[in-house]
Amino acid sequence: MRHRQVVALAAVALVGLTGCEGPDPNNLETYYDDPAPTSAPATVTAEAPVNHAQAAPVKPPMPDLAELASRALLSDADVAEEGVQPGDGEASGCLTDGSASSRTASWRYPSGSVLRHRVVAYPDEAAEDVVARADCDGKSVSVPAQHGVDRQRAWCAGKTCTVLLAKGKLVSALTVSASTETRAVDAAKRLLPAMTAKLTAQP
């Protein structure tokens, strides 16, 4: 009898030990496995700051005034229909200043009449102001108005006539010395379109 009791107690103890090894339904830390993550954690990306300041405008380079004067000067081809030959190229007329940014050309007619053209650049003032205050000898004469120029004026002193055209920083000056005032004015009128085209083509 005593032997049966010992066996029974041993069986009960074994059952108790076996029960302790299983999960405790009341212990949430041991009964449930850790849940698998359903999505990857959010990643925060730093964005570069936006610069709303406008960049300073880039100023265009100043044009080479001497080059502009050269391009506005009449060429041999421009005066070919006048039947002239290259002359001495001396400056004459109302614009005889010593500006470094100037170009001059001269031609001679078979009759001995002289045609001179000079283009002068004024870096520190508007060309139309120079023409407005120009003080040429002689009387004012009328020549066809030229489209695209800022100002124009014309004078005749005896048999020599001068026409001034202004555009931007350039003054284009044509002087014709002929046998009569009428011939000088007529020659200037014929050459005005070529002068204007050369002058207004410059920036």
Residue 194 in tokens = 């070529």
Q: What is the mean pLDDT of residues 32-43?
A: 52
The partner residues of 171 in beta bridges, in order of sequence, read 120, 166
The CATH number of the structural domain formed by 65-200 is: 3.40.1000
Query: Using an 8 Å Cβ cutoff, are 145 and 137 in contact?
Result: no
Q: Taking Cα atoms as reference points, which of 122, 161, 148 lies closest to residue 201? A: 148
Give residue 99's pLDDT: 58
Q: What is the 3-state secondary structure (H, E, C) of 123-182?
A: CCCCHHHHHHHCCCCCEECCCCCCCCCCEEEEEEECCEEEEEEEECCEEEEEEEECCCHH
Residue 131 in tokens = 């023409």
> What span, in angstroms and rounded, lies between the C-alpha atoms of 131 and 188?
17
Span of 36-40, 63-67, 105-109, 136-140 with lowest mean pLDDT: 36-40
Q: What is the DSSP letter of 51?
A: -
In this predicted structure, the answer to whether residue 17 has a pLDDT above a threshold of 60 is no
Q: What are the boundaries of each domain within the chain?
A: 2-31, 65-200
The string of DSSP letters for 29-83 reads: HHHSPPPPPSSPPP---PPPPP--PPPPPPPPPPP-HHHHHHHHS--TTTTGGGT
Residue 187 in tokens = 């020659």
In this predicted structure, the answer to whether residue 152 has a pLDDT above a threshold of 90 is yes
Instruction: Record the pTM.
Output: 0.69
Query: Using an 8 Å Cβ cutoff, are 136 and 156 in contact?
Result: no
Span of 10-19, 69-78, 160-169 with lowest mean pLDDT: 10-19
